Amino acid sequence: MVDPTEDPGDRPDPILATIDAQERDDCPVRAVGSTDGVYWFLSPSGELRRMVRSDFTAIGLLSLFEGRDAWLIANHVRHDKDGEPVNDFNAKKAAADLMTRCHRIGLYDPSLGRRGLGVWKAPDGSPIVHCGDAVYVAGGWRRPGLRLDPGLYVARPRCARPDFDEPASAEDAQRMRDAIDLWRFGEPVDADMVFGWYALALLGEMPPWRVHMQCDAEHGSGKTALIVLLGAGLGPQSETLNDYTEAGIRASLTNQSRAILLDEAEVAPGGGGASRMQMVIGLIRRMSGAQGAEVARGSPNQEAMRNHVSGSAFLAGINPPPLLPQDRSRIYGFRLVKATRDPDAEAKLTAATEGARGMSPRLRARAIKQWPVFEASAPVWRRALIEAGCDGRQADMFAALLAGRDLLLHDGPPDPDSVAAEMERLGGIISELSQADEEDGDAAQCWNHLLGQPADPYKARKRITLGAMVAAAAKDLTSPYRDELRAYGMRLEPEKREDGSERPVLLVANNHQAVKRIYAGTRWEGGGHRISLLRLGSPVRGPDWVARPSGRAWQFGGPKSHAVVIPWTLLPEYEPMTRGSGPDLDGDD
């Protein structure tokens, strides 16, 4: 396997050239830049230091140089009144030199570009591993304080390093995979998906699409024990929390690219538990893309504060929050069922967890070394998933998980037979996700909100919904409901088809007071319903299965408006209701 940190051929490695250029300067302090009279430096240990004019005293400079004055004396020696050098430095000249170095580099934005613990992507696409007091880049360990666009790799508290001298083998990785089988999953494929997530979590920011997991766990199914196992295998590449808020997670992981394991990720009754978890999920959703979550907040002194959070998340709870359609392509949901009564279960879990903790440095090293396997496997899986019926984002999610599994268990991309077998195994899950998205997508929610509105009982003469009125009028265009619908900004009209037959279509006004009242206070208010309704349907099934613009203005109980045309295939079906409760087309008024 090719080491991604080694440059092929004889050409100079641009990463090494950049590092060598920085390390050739014998000054132990590295200038970062300046802004608004503030000067930024990296101390000899790689700590980011902020200095203003009043800090450039002899003591302030000694603090910046961490008490080491040899370079200061050698380059800016102080002279006595007779012009003889003394064993001390000239603070004014040293300050001038350091300020000039900052101005030569240019302006620095202190809110951007810091890189802390975790795995990051170098400018050439290779992995960079930050372990606090050392940075693994271009095949070797360097001291922190490197500037590799767009990141500034600053010093952080030391953590355990991956064991690049003896990375794990595929057999070692299989033992971690076998440990996950100690739990009972709702679907057999879920164990593979959890293992794939574990591999992704080891890669930090490297995967272009980072996937998260949501565990729906029965009481007694061992969700906390699973989190402990994953945390042991991830080592310092993860952080585990069981009481948190979105702001707390953001503050804890800002400028890091590590995994977050969230136990008790559920909706507690009362106290705003649902909104709290939705804010957490919103942050996790934004962590999925290549840039991670870039959060900007204002500070009390009117300065912008930016938080960069990247990596993968694992949520586990007995009553997990529901996922929106945009979450389901980023967060893989699975279920743990109650464990069997195995008297040796606790001993097995303890042994598996200790084994994962012991192998963690070697497994971390294997994941980094095997990065090219991920790059080769992910496109193969994505193509197959698209052909199997996934949309683009669903394909990204499954491809990342499957390529993550390959990363640790194999030394190359999957063969065609393996791909075909996997697609057959995933068929049911892909179909279920597609149906859920169709039923719960933004367009469907907007449409169902309209159909579910209760009609004015004085206009409709019965307690029914607008959907029931539409269904009744679509079945019989002579129904009085057809005229009454215009007061709600809707009208049913017959439309000729290519074969000469007629089918009813529903027109929903773009600009009508009744429609505005229906959508007031929702995310579709102010005319936003038009954009969502135009997404309704499935274009691949043909023009009879997709909403479209009306192309001209129609009369809606007085005012004219352009409209969205809903084809007959998407209209609700009429179902006879009990007497007095809804529309009756069988002769009863």
Query: What CATH number has the domain bearing residue 196?
Result: 3.40.50.300
Summarised one tens digit per residue, pLDDT across range 338-378 is 877 677 888 999 999 999 999 999 999 999 999 999 999 99
Domain membership of residue 28 (yes or no) is yes
Domain membership of residue 583 (yes or no) is no
Q: Are residues 89 and 177 in the same domain?
A: no
- pLDDT over 90 for what percent of the chain? 52
Residue 322: pLDDT band (50, 70, 90) is: confident
Residue 132 has pLDDT above 90, yes or no: yes
Residue 95 has pLDDT above 90, yes or no: yes
Query: For residue 69, how many C-alpha atoms fall within 13 Å in the half-sphere facing its CB?
Result: 17
Residue appearing with tokens 């613009």: 549
Q: Are residues 179 and 134 in the same domain?
A: no
Domain membership of residue 108 (yes or no) is yes
For residue 554, the SS3 value is strand
Residue 409 has pLDDT above 70, yes or no: yes
| Mean pLDDT along residues 81-107 | 92
Range scoring the smallest mean pLDDT among 178-192, 266-280, 498-512: 266-280
- The predicted pLDDT at position 1 comes to 38
Structure tokens at 551: 């192309």
Please say whether the beta carbons of 231 and 261 come within 8 A: yes
Q: Are residues 468 and 564 in the same domain?
A: yes
| Mean pLDDT along residues 325-332 | 82
Q: Are residues 174 and 127 in the same domain?
A: no
Torsion region of 551: left, alpha or beta (phi above 0 gives left; psi -120 to 50 gives alpha): left
- The predicted pLDDT at position 567 comes to 93
pTM: 0.77
Domain membership of residue 327 (yes or no) is yes
Residue range(s) defining the domain that contains residue 35: 14-153
| Mean pLDDT along residues 447-456 | 90
| Mean pLDDT along residues 511-518 | 92
Q: What is the mean pLDDT of the chain?
A: 86
CA 354 remoteness from chain centre: 30
Q: Are residues 88 and 148 in the same domain?
A: yes
For residue 215, the SS3 value is strand
Characterize the bridge pairing of strands 118-121 and 127-130.
antiparallel
Q: Are residues 201 and 116 in the same domain?
A: no
Residue 459 has pLDDT above 60, yes or no: no
- The predicted pLDDT at position 538 comes to 76
- The predicted pLDDT at position 195 comes to 97
Summarised one tens digit per residue, pLDDT across range 6-63 is 444 444 466 666 666 666 778 999 888 898 899 999 999 889 999 999 999 999 999 9
Q: Are residues 19 and 116 in the same domain?
A: yes
Residue 301 has pLDDT above 60, yes or no: no
Domain boundary among 358, 386, 418: 358
Domain count, the chain: 3
Domain boundary among 342, 358, 374: 358
Summarised one tens digit per residue, pLDDT across range 65-92 is 999 999 999 999 999 888 889 999 999 9
Characterize the bridge pairing of strands 77-79 and 85-89.
antiparallel
Summarised one tens digit per residue, pLDDT across range 141-159 is 988 888 887 778 899 999 9
Alpha-carbon span 7 to 13, nearest angstrom: 6
**28-42, 107-121, 529-543: range with highest mean pLDDT:** 28-42
- The predicted pLDDT at position 586 comes to 42
Backbone angles phi and psi of 153, in degrees to 5: -90, 95
- The predicted pLDDT at position 178 comes to 96
Residue 135 has pLDDT above 90, yes or no: yes
Q: Are residues 185 and 138 in the same domain?
A: no
E strands in 403-442: none
Q: Are residues 498 and 352 in the same domain?
A: no
Alpha-carbon span 406 to 95, nearest angstrom: 54
Domain membership of residue 159 (yes or no) is no
- The predicted pLDDT at position 61 comes to 96
| 146 DSSP β-pair partners | 153
Q: Are residues 215 and 73 in the same domain?
A: no
Please say whether the beta carbons of 340 and 220 come within 8 A: no
Residue 461: pLDDT band (50, 70, 90) is: low
Residue 226: pLDDT band (50, 70, 90) is: very high
Domain membership of residue 389 (yes or no) is no
- The predicted pLDDT at position 429 comes to 82
- The predicted pLDDT at position 83 comes to 87
- The predicted pLDDT at position 326 comes to 75
- The predicted pLDDT at position 114 comes to 84
H or E element, residue 517: helix 513-519
Rg over alpha carbons for the chain, rounded to the nearest Å, is 31
- The predicted pLDDT at position 273 comes to 60
Residue 2 has pLDDT above 60, yes or no: no
- The predicted pLDDT at position 505 comes to 94
- The predicted pLDDT at position 314 comes to 95
Q: Are residues 134 and 269 in the same domain?
A: no
Residue 253: pLDDT band (50, 70, 90) is: confident
Structure tokens at 534: 């135009």
Domain membership of residue 432 (yes or no) is no
Residue 426: pLDDT band (50, 70, 90) is: confident
Residue appearing with tokens 């998906």: 193
Q: Are residues 221 and 314 in the same domain?
A: yes
Alpha-carbon span 479 to 331, nearest angstrom: 46
Residue 566 has pLDDT above 60, yes or no: yes
